[in-house]
């Protein structure tokens, strides 16, 4: 099968876009500067939730298109997707936005379901993804549909599109230089992974005025604790002080986490942008160029919805 569509980028947005196109019968080749295991997607916490993404109306639409796809993958261990119950504290369903009314089972939390210090929240059951397993699953699914992944830096989108009918730009933070698009910027997130002392549900909350989050995600390999959201910060080195602050915040909700053995530290740079760029234009060669980047902290959440829309744009 000839590669008539080039997808640039192999994070969750790039791989999902490639899978959708390949399963529609297109010849797809993914070009990526780094293997999927080294992308920002690989260090993400993995909960479906429209977090730090604009515009809200479109993000809600993409997220809701993704939700049933992910729910359908749950229960198949090889996909890395599980449906897990949990609580988001500090907001009511109405405050979340119109999208929340279409999430099955989402409801206001009862007082007895909230930890000390919170007077409101929501309860629901959502997809929680082990991202290493999920990215590997997407690569296998792409290969089964005839697509390929090549680790090779792309110097320009025009060069990538030579001889192709279409290019899909899923470069995330890399779009800042490749497009170039100076509105793309890093939003630094730091996580701590600890042994699981018995946490079975996820928990999230807005912690303070700084925009830091409090989240606890039980994964097969441990519990992911977070997190931070520092705009325009490029440093990928974990901060010991930040890690201790994360553990302290999470231990207020789950006291047993205070003594849990630390398994690792992670830092990822979310691809922030004032709004997601999902639109088409033409390259000088005449090839169709579809941009699909700038998803902030919600790339996992909107991945299938954006991939389906990007594929429609490729097909014109």
Q: Which residues are annotated as part of the binding site for FAD?
A: 40-41, 154, 171, 296-301
C-alpha 267/C-alpha 40 separation (Å) is: 8
C-alpha 137/C-alpha 124 separation (Å) is: 26
**Are 50 and 302 within 8 A, CB to CB?**
yes
Task: Please report the beta strands in 138-177, taking only residues with DSSP state E, as ranges in sequence order.
Answer: 148-151, 166-169
Q: Which of 132, 129, 177 is nearest to 298 (CA)?
A: 129
DSSP code at position 313: H
DSSP code at position 257: G
305 Cβ contact list (under 8 Å, min separation 6): 61, 62, 63, 64, 65, 66
DSSP code at position 295: -
Residue 84 belongs to what H/E stretch? strand 81-89
Q: Could you list the residues known to form a binding site, using ranges.
A: 40-41, 154, 171, 215, 270, 296-301
Q: Could you list the residues known to form a binding site for D-dopa, using ranges.
A: 215, 270, 297
Q: Report whether the peptide linkage leading into residue 227 is cis, meaning its omega lies within 30 degrees of zero.
A: yes
C-alpha 154/C-alpha 171 separation (Å) is: 10
152 CB neighbour count, 10 Å cutoff: 12
């Amino acid at each position: 099968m000839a590669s008539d569509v080039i997808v640039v980028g192999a994070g969750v947005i790039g791989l999902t876009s490639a899978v959708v196109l390949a399963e529609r019968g297109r010849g797809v080749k993914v070009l990526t500067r780094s293997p999927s295991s080294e992308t920002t997607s690989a260090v993400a916490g993995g909960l479906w939730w429209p977090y730090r993404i604009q515009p809200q109306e479109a993000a809600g639409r993409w997220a809701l298109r993704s939700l049933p796809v992910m729910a359908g993958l749950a229960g198949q261990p090889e996909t890395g997707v599980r449906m897990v119950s949990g609580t988001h504290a500090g907001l009511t369903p109405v405050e979340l936005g119109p999208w929340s009314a279409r999430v099955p089972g989402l409801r206001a939390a009862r007082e007895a379901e909230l930890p000390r210090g919170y007077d409101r929240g929501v309860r629901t059951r959502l997809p929680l993804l082990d991202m290493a397993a999920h990215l590997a699953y997407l690569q296998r699914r792409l290969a089964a549909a005839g697509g390929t992944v090549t680790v090779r830096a792309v110097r320009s989108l025009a060069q990538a599109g030579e001889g192709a009918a279409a290019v899909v730009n899923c470069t995330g933070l890399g779009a800042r230089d490749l497009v170039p698009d100076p509105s793309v910027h890093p939003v630094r997130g730091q996580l701590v992974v600890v042994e699981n002392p018995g946490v079975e549900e996820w928990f999230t909350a807005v912690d303070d005025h700084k925009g830091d989050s409090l989240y606890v995600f039980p994964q097969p390999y441990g519990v992911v604790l977070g997190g931070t959201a520092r705009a325009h910060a490029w440093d990928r080195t974990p901060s010991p002080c930040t890690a201790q602050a994360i553990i302290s915040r999470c231990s207020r909700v789950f006291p047993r986490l205070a003594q849990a053995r630390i398994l690792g530290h992670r830092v990822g740079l979310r691809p922030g942008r004032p709004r997601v760029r999902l639109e088409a234009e033409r390259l000088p060669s005449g090839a169709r160029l579809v941009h699909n980047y700038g998803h902030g902290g919600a790339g996992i959440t909107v991945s299938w919805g954006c991939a389906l829309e990007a594929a429609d744009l490729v097909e014109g």
